[in-house]
Amino acid sequence: MELYNRPAHELQRLLQRKDISCRELTESVLRRADAVDSSVCAYLTRLNDQALEQADAIDERIAAGEAITPFMGIPLALKDNLCTDGIETTCASRILKGFRPPYDATVVHKLRKTNAIFVGKTNLDEFAMGSSTENSAFFPTRNPWNTSTVPGGSSGGSTAAVAAGAAIAALGSDTGGSIRQPASFCGVVGMKPTYGRVSRYGLIAFASSLDQIGPITHDVTDCAHLLNVISGHDPMDSTSIDQPVPDYGAFLIPEVKGLRVGVPREFFAQGVEPPVADAVWKAIRLLEEKGAVVEECSTPCAEYGLPVYYIIAPAEASSNLARYDGVQYGHRTAEDVDVVGLYQKTRKEGFGHEVKHRIMLGTYALSSGYYDAYYLKASRVRTLIKQDFERAFQKHDVLICPTCPTVAFTLGEKTGDPLQMKLSDVCTIPVNIAGLPGISLPCGFHEGLPIGLQIIGKPLDEGTIFRTAYAYEQATEWHSQRAPL
């Protein structure tokens, strides 16, 4: 297997033994990115020269006897809504074209400390608002398994880069499924941690009570190790949880005997295609054969996740995106207008259709006379969804369901049907609403496209999710499949 297609934990053993050099590895990934990115379009910014300089410096340290630390010398990609000191960060929006933050996001800073190598910033739906990475202001990203289909969104660039071998691993953000849904479509592993487990400092905000940063990798082992690196309390983020971070690697055992698995029936009823449901049920039965105790359960309020999300998320977006006014940073209209005209023209020119749509929805939901009817009611239903999950977890250790109702759809297929586009996230959104951790990993194929298995856990219990996912992964070969690009 080519170096660019191997997981990080294998590559680090090769680096430690000096079987390969960091420069060889980095050049392998950069060559692969050069070869495939004209087809996949995963990257907005490439950092080739910086990456090779980092690789040479790391090779010198290894030659001097320095021990390899997790993700040292591993080429990674970063979603372009994570601030990177001095490197353009656009959120795939014209309003931030040319913006170079003067600081790193906390997760970026933590990765720099491990001596990870950054190969580029990846494409996304503008301000992470979308399910297909077709809403980028610059160009759509394509799925490496079939370039006529979407990679999912909004972290489509990060997942496509990993699936195509143009990065060994990546970071994305997940507001309503934006890591797990594209991970499902692209046949990789993606995790949304518990809300507050990973610092959001330096993540350009979409919906602050829902956003979480998480890892995207080839396998569960890399996912656990990368989450270890980026997790932990951060005083720069007031929502960051001040709790010890366990060693997630300790949960990577292929043993699920006695594990209580709940299967929420509502997640199989909302337009889930039969081949997807069949693949997920086969995965559940395999875990049962390995000793897990499987039982169907119910989370009745989860069906309201979609309408709740599309009130709360746009409302928070309306507030968060008010800062883009053309005064301090980012795009500013060239027209000679008064201050009100400056705001209006700048935002009209800088924001795309989907962002404007969500700002208007959110502003309406928060407006006088409508706040109680929409935002307040949605917040109350949010509590009911959370309580449903709490009751389910009194009897079960994890919940298992599809990540998405379908496999990846064709580019342009759903752009004219906003409801169908939004239904792509129907299985992932309730997890964000409740602030829970969840992972997607491959569990099969339909018409040559990957199917994702979603495992949901209790708050701060990512370890049990990893244990379940690892046991399934070790009993199958889906994670070893690579896109035939």
- Contact between 46 and 88 under an 8 Å Cβ cutoff? The reply is no
What lies within 8 Å, CB to CB, of 142 at 6+ separation is: 39, 40, 41, 148, 149, 150, 151, 160, 411
Amino acid in the structure at residue 348: K
Catalytic residue among 79, 121, 414, 422: 79
Q: What burial letters (b/e) apply to 32-54, b meaning 16+ CB within 10 Å?
A: bbeebbeebbbbbbbbeeebbeb
Residue 38 a catalytic site member: no
Query: Tokens representing 356?
Result: 């404007």
Helices 462-474 and 220-230: crossing angle in degrees, nearest 10, is: 160
In which order are the strands placed within the sheet that holds 260-264? 43-46, 117-122, 75-79, 169-174, 212-217, 189-192, 438-446, 449-457, 398-402, 260-264, 293-297
Query: Tokens representing 239?
Result: 């929502």
Residue 154 a catalytic site member: yes
Residue 184 a catalytic site member: no
Catalytic residue among 21, 158, 178, 424: 178
What lies within 8 Å, CB to CB, of 50 at 6+ separation is: 118
Catalytic residue among 131, 132, 154, 240: 154
User: What percent of the residues of the chain are helix, what percent strand, and what percent coil, each to the nearest 5?
Assistant: 45, 15, 40
- Contact between 89 and 99 under an 8 Å Cβ cutoff? The reply is yes
Query: Tokens representing 129?
Result: 């608002």
Q: What burial letters (b/e) apply to 252-271, b meaning 16+ CB within 10 Å?
A: beeebeebbbbbbebbbeee
Beta partners for residue 216, in sequence order? 170, 190
CA 318 – CA 67 distance, rounded (Å): 47
Closest CA to 70 of 5, 16, 21: 16
- Contact between 163 and 186 under an 8 Å Cβ cutoff? The reply is yes
What lies within 8 Å, CB to CB, of 411 at 6+ separation is: 132, 134, 140, 142, 148, 149, 150
CA 450 – CA 445 distance, rounded (Å): 4
* Active site residue ranges: 79, 154, 178
